[in-house]
Amino acid sequence: MLINNCPVCDSLHVTSVFTRDNIPVLQNILMKSYEEACQIARGDLSITQCSDCGFVFNRTFDGDKVVYNSQYENTQSYSTFFEQYLDDLVTDLVTKHGIRNMNVVEVGCGKGLFLKKIVDHGDNVGYGFDPSYIGPEVLQGGKLRFEKRLYDEDCTHIQADAVICRHVIEHISDPVSLLKTIRRALEHSPHAKVFFETPCVDWILDNKVMFDFFYEHNSYFNRQSITRAFHLAGFDIVKVKHIFNGQYLWVEAKVNTSEIQIQQHAEPFINNQAGSKWFAQHERKWRETVVSQLEHYAINGKVAIWGAGAKGVTFLNLIDPGRTYIDCVIDVNPNKIGNFLPGTGHEIIGIEKAAQRGLSTVIVMNPNYFEENTLLIGSNRIDVKLINIEEWSV
């Protein structure tokens, strides 16, 4: 079904940015064999931008194709860089925002790792909600509880002091509806602090990260569109800032019952036309340039990429669907090692096996991890050249 109206502000003033056909619908699912990886369900990507609020979305998204189950694996905390990032975020919440001795709800808690940190560090009580959660329902003597369902108006009995939702809203095709559901759940918790984290579409557009649009994410926000969505759902924005070296937006909000004030706070959108047009006009040229660079690296030996997450999956499905240029994918997540990349079937290996593959060049998919990966290569005495993809001239 084609989405004609902006899912946030309902505007009909939407413009196509670019389209891609027949791409994997899941990027972070474990594929046990090459054959299974190549047979993954596929869908079409039609990235579209609202001219009124700036919201970016996939207008051909089909939610029935995206099923999150026990095979879904997106744990990032095996990276020391990301683990430190999470610890810093928890420290900031506890010390600067006073999330201590409180009832904390996490919407879309995954495996509950972040919520556990919040409970431990701030002596809080945690309630995790996620239909795909796997694990004990009660931990730490009852201070940590999980429910395999959505957080909604049936949860008003929980006196929530803080609600945290990290990297969920970008997976939702109707983000305002999600926010309204959370607002209704807070009917008896009007003073709750609300925190959201989501990728920043302006970072993707400004840095021309062609492989940061993928099927799992059907909602992409900038400062203006996330502000509009929260206001329409009945929240006041306290602050919106960029974190994770600009890649993420961090939203701080609170419940607001004044509809008039909500409308007055709507923030105008300044269109990032240069970034949007680049994607529309240069995808073919970008692919040709990347392939040329890969052919150059291959002169010295086998080439790998580092990162079996969404960026790596999207990059290889765009550039190397036939496994012509890239030998394998390196990742530090032990749950992914030995599996195969969705769509292309590239094998995922651990750092300890990199030396056995005869690699000469490794391309780091996310610049945030370049320093960490450099240290891992050095400590394992692996003689390869690391390439920071951010430095590529495309």
Sign of CA dihedral 133, 135, 136, 142: negative
**Within this chain, do residues 74 and 160 fall inside the same structural domain, yes or no?**
yes
**Within this chain, do residues 27 and 154 fall inside the same structural domain, yes or no?**
yes
Torsion, CA 261, CA 265, CA 266, CA 268, rounded to 10: 150
Using CA atoms, how far apart are residues 305 and 283, in angstroms rounded to an integer?
20
Sign of CA dihedral 305, 308, 311, 317: positive
Q: Quick one: which of 315, 364, 365 has its CA closest to 344? A: 315
Give the confidence band of 274 by pLDDT, cuts at 50, 70, 90: low
User: Does pLDDT of 322 surpass 70?
Assistant: yes
Domain of 89, CATH number, reads 3.40.50.150
| Per-residue pLDDT at 268 | 60
**Within this chain, do residues 97 and 164 fall inside the same structural domain, yes or no?**
yes
Taking the CB of residue 267, how many other CB atoms lie within 10 A of it?
A: 16
**Within this chain, do residues 268 and 293 fall inside the same structural domain, yes or no?**
no
Q: Render the burial of 178-199: b for 16+ CB within 10 Å, e for the rest.
A: bbbbbbebbeebeebbbbbbbb
Domain of 292, CATH number, reads 3.40.50.720
Q: Report residue 56: phi and psi, to 5°.
A: -115, 135
Q: Find the domain containing 305 and state its range.
A: 283-391
8 Å CB contact between 357 and 305 = no
Segment 178-232, tens digit of pLDDT: 999 999 999 999 999 999 999 999 999 988 899 999 999 999 999 999 999 999 9
**Within this chain, do residues 207 and 77 fall inside the same structural domain, yes or no?**
yes
**Within this chain, do residues 269 and 297 fall inside the same structural domain, yes or no?**
no
**Within this chain, do residues 202 and 140 fall inside the same structural domain, yes or no?**
yes
Give the confidence band of 293 by pLDDT, cuts at 50, 70, 90: very high
**Within this chain, do residues 226 and 288 fall inside the same structural domain, yes or no?**
no
Of all residues in the chain, the percent with pLDDT exceeding 90 is: 84
Per the structure, the count of domains in the chain is: 2
**Within this chain, do residues 84 and 230 fall inside the same structural domain, yes or no?**
yes
Give the confidence band of 97 by pLDDT, cuts at 50, 70, 90: very high
* Contacts of residue 74, Cβ cutoff 8 Å, sequence gap at least 6: 28, 110, 309
Using CA atoms, how far apart are residues 353 and 358, in angstroms rounded to an integer?
10
| Per-residue pLDDT at 279 | 79
Give the confidence band of 393 by pLDDT, cuts at 50, 70, 90: low
Tokens coding 13? 């003033």
Residue ending a domain, among 282, 314, 345, is: 282
Of all residues in the chain, the percent with pLDDT exceeding 70 is: 95
Top-confidence residue, 58 or 390: 58
Segment 367-381, tens digit of pLDDT: 999 999 999 999 999
Question: Mean pLDDT over all residues of the chain?
Answer: 93
**Within this chain, do residues 254 and 329 fall inside the same structural domain, yes or no?**
no
- What's the whole-number mean pLDDT along residues 299-315? 96
**Within this chain, do residues 79 and 179 fall inside the same structural domain, yes or no?**
yes
Sheet hosting strand 348-349, strand order edge to edge: 348-349, 328-330, 302-306, 359-364, 385-388
**Within this chain, do residues 185 and 68 fall inside the same structural domain, yes or no?**
yes
User: Does pLDDT of 55 surpass 90?
Assistant: yes
pTM of the entire structure?
0.94
| Per-residue pLDDT at 283 | 84
Residue ending a domain, among 282, 308, 342, is: 282
Q: Which residue has the tokens 């495996």?
A: 111
- What's the whole-number mean pLDDT along residues 294-321? 96
| Per-residue pLDDT at 69 | 80
What stretch of H or E contains 166?
Answer: strand 162-166
Residue ending a domain, among 282, 313, 331, is: 282
Residue 58 backbone zone (phi > 0: left; psi -120 to 50: alpha; other: beta): beta
| Per-residue pLDDT at 181 | 97
Q: What is the CA radius of gyration of the chain?
A: 21
Q: Which of 250-259, 328-337, 371-380 has the lowest mean pLDDT?
A: 250-259
Q: Quick one: which of 191, 192, 194 has its CA closest to 178? A: 194
What stretch of H or E contains 151?
Answer: none
